[in-house]
Chains A and B, each alone.
Chain A
Amino acid sequence: MHVVLEKTLKNASSYFQNFFIHEYSSKSTLHSIDARIKLLGTFLFVILAVSTFEPKKLLFLLLSLILISAILGLSLKNMIRRVWLFPLFSFAVVSPLLLQDIGYPLLFTLRVLIAVIAVQMLVMSTSFADICSALRSLKVPEVFVHGLWLAYRYILVVFQDIINILLARESRRVARGSHLELWRKGGEAVGLFFLRSIERAERVQLAIASRGERIIGSKLQFGTLEAIYISLSAFVALWCIAL
């Protein structure tokens, strides 16, 4: 079981590092823009990126997103740290085709890179609470958005639970055991974890009932800032389409 624990903690630490970066990154101009506008802008930029293979359009889009991020206060260094893996993986997947067509793997990777940058612009400048507010405001069903927000808030709590369970079982283990034994015993540990989670869910539901169902507060606003950002996004889209 110690292998599971070790590998899991290693994996989780890098995952959770990502988890917190966007919540605590310094406030930029992009942070001040209404989350709904940023969410829709992200969709627009990603759709633009994945709907063409034309180098001039992709380069224009890439340059525009980098400029917007830099001017509106996002750290490009942080962004590169967060996005490099996805295009690299994509390039590795299509690199066997380099011999047949040198352009395709590069353009394919560029599309992925632009899409990931567009999503990172949202993630690095918007708290998850604001994303949930935006989703609710865009008429995504309440039960889904509230579930989303609660899940986000409870991930660290329940992760601590599962680590505690695995540690307790590891400390009681005597024999080494085969892989099959490890998976079976591990399955039981995860079973206990799910039972505890269900019981926790029941307690949380009671707490929600006693406090009232309103879970997500709203900080949405629309003003000059949003209007100019919409103009900016619309210009990028139109220029990109017509270029």
Chain B
Amino acid sequence: MHIPDGYLDLSIAALFFVLTLLVLGYSIYRLRGERLTSLFGVLSAAIFAAQMLNWPIPGGTSAHFVGGALAGILLGPYAGSLAMAIVLTIQTLVFNDGGITAWGANVWNMAIVNVFLGYYIYRTFSRYNKNFAAFLAGWLGITAAAIFAGIEIGLSTSFAYGLSVTVPVMGVWHALLGVIEGIITAGVVGYIATRRADLLEKKEVGKTSFALIAALIALSPVFAYLAEEVGYAEPLEKAAEMIGLEEEPIYEGLFPDYTISGLDPYTGTLLSGLLGVLIVLALAYAVKYARGSRKDT
């Protein structure tokens, strides 16, 4: 479910960065004053380790646990979303599991949608049966996260498949695999309920905050659609236009419009590309030799 770099349009990636930072920022604000460093650290590591368990499923294949709903149930949605965001950040920065530009969307899906939805489903149904509530939270949380991922890549023009392909593929597949997520979440919650029921006590969330975050989650596909409508998939080129780089090429004298007079445009572009590579080469060697001035070498 981790979206790599290159699958999302930058407009959509930027939108989910903003939405994610808003919710994570608010979560940090809500948790201010609490000494939670070790809780985040150790429990994020625990979620990471639990994600490595490969659960066999009939047919010879296997699925792995994600743990978003469980993080919400155990830590509350604010701390849970931060713990999941930590896991996803490590996966991005160490294992390349999920792209840097897609970090916002990945955290939104798996650390915000999954955690908050899982938490509220659990809270709604736990008064009837804790195990069933945990199962629903795990199952629906992961399915919703997958559907959101499908919407994000389906709306992106960079990815050739549209919503009609991406949403069913992501949604149906994860709805099936999500059953295992639900069963394991129920198993974990059932065990903790018998040993340390205090950990499952209701966490304070706040009705207004809940309504706002729920609204953000519900409206995020609409925002994504609108961001796509704005249509700035190539912002750096727009920036180039704005600062006049295209109208006034830097090397106008040598390569007007990155072509060479007398040569066909393809050869001209090829030569200007090669010149660029030569300059990169020279600058890279300059970096290499500048290292000599560093004492730690």
Contact = CB atoms under 8 A, between A and B. Distances in A.
Given A150-B37, A190-B187, A29 B52 contact: no
Contacts of A10: 54
Interface string B89-120: 11011111001110000000000000000000
Given A29-B291, A68-B280, A224-B290, A94 B160 contact: yes
A39 B54 CA distance: 32
B31 A143 contact: yes
A144 B237 contact: no
B240 interface: yes
Interface residues of A, number: 113
A200 B74 CA distance: 15
Contacts of A115: 4-6, 99-101
A188 B5 contact: no
Given A67-B280, A143-B31, A152-B94, A197 B188 contact: no
Interface stretch (B141-149, B210-218, B222-230, B270-278): B270-278
A119 B280 contact: no
Contacts of B49: 155, 158-159, 161-162, 193
A90 B6 contact: yes
Q: Secondary structure of the A side of the interface?
A: helix
A10 B249 CA distance: 54
Interface string B35-61: 111111111111011101111111000
Contact of A187 (B42, B48, B83, B186): B186
A144 to B, nearest CB: 7
Contacts of A63: 277, 280
Interface range for B: 35 or more
B93 A116 contact: no
18 contacts: A32-B297, A50-B99, A64-B276, A71-B281, A112-B5, A119-B93, A122-B93, A141-B25, A143-B37, A148-B41, A151-B86, A187-B184, A194-B43, A225-B293, A228-B290, A241-B239, A242-B240, A242-B245
Interface of A: 3-4, 7-8, 10-12, 15, 18-19, 22, 29, 32-33, 42-43, 46-53, 56, 59-60, 63-64, 67-68, 71-73, 82-83, 86, 90, 94, 97, 104, 108, 111-112, 115-116, 119-120, 122-123, 128, 131, 141, 143-144, 146-155, 157-159, 161-162, 166, 179-180, 182-188, 190-195, 197-198, 200-202, 204-205, 208-209, 213, 215, 223-225, 228-229, 231-232, 235-243
